[in-house]
């Protein structure tokens, strides 16, 4: 696991003090092959990662470090989407907050193409204010 390797590298380097969070950015696709949330965008992949971090033996992995504790303490979920802000509460945030009540999430690449950017950004930033776990967005592909 790359996550386990990063924890091992920190340990070998003697890293101390406040430690950074980790993320793995998923697409906003539906994952029919995932073990949970098979009809919801991004959540299936996050569910599978969560399951692997909590039960690595199910995935034929024996970690060198306590990846479960590190995941619970230092992980931030993320995904990329071009969906309109109006989709996110019912398609993602309601279920996310119920299933991952202590894990923050953000959108790593956000840009609603061919939309009124002012309105859409107002909506998405309002969602970040209204949802404690939703940290916000990183807007991309703009020009001045």
Query: Given pLDDT bands bounded at 50, 70 and 90, which one contains residue 144?
Result: low
pLDDT per residue as tens digits for the range 108-139: 999 888 889 899 999 999 999 999 999 999 99
Residues in the chain: 144
Q: Going by C-beta distance under 8 Å and a sequence separation of 6 or more, which residues neighbour residue 57?
A: none
Q: Do strands 134-139 and 77-81 pair parallel, antiparallel, or not at all (unpaired)?
A: unpaired
Kindly tell me if the per-residue pLDDT of 98 is higher than 70. Answer: yes
Element housing 80 (H / E): strand 77-81
Element housing 138 (H / E): strand 134-139
pLDDT per residue as tens digits for the range 31-89: 999 999 999 999 999 999 999 999 999 999 999 999 999 999 999 999 999 999 999 99
Instruction: List helix spans (H) across 2-93.
Output: 2-13, 43-54, 67-74, 85-88
Q: Work out whether the CA dihedral 60, 75, 113, 85 comes out positive or negative.
A: positive
Choose among 65, 87, 93: nearest CA to 6.
65
Give pLDDT, residue 142. 67
């Amino acid at each position: 696991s790359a996550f386990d390797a990063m924890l091992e590298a920190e340990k070998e380097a003697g890293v101390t003090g406040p430690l950074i969070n980790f993320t793995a950015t998923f697409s906003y696709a539906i994952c029919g092959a995932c073990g949970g949330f098979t009809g919801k965008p991004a959540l299936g992949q996050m569910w599978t990662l969560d399951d692997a971090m909590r039960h690595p033996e199910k995935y034929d992995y024996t970690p060198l470090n306590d990846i479960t504790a590190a995941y619970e303490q230092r992980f931030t979920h993320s995904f990329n989407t071009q969906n309109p802000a109006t989709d996110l509460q019912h398609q993602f945030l309601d279920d996310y907050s119920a299933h991952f009540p202590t894990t923050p999430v953000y959108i790593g690449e956000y840009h609603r193409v061919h939309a009124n950017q002012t309105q859409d950004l107002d909506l998405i930033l309002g969602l970040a204010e209204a949802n404690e776990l939703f940290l916000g967005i990183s807007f991309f592909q703009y020009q001045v």
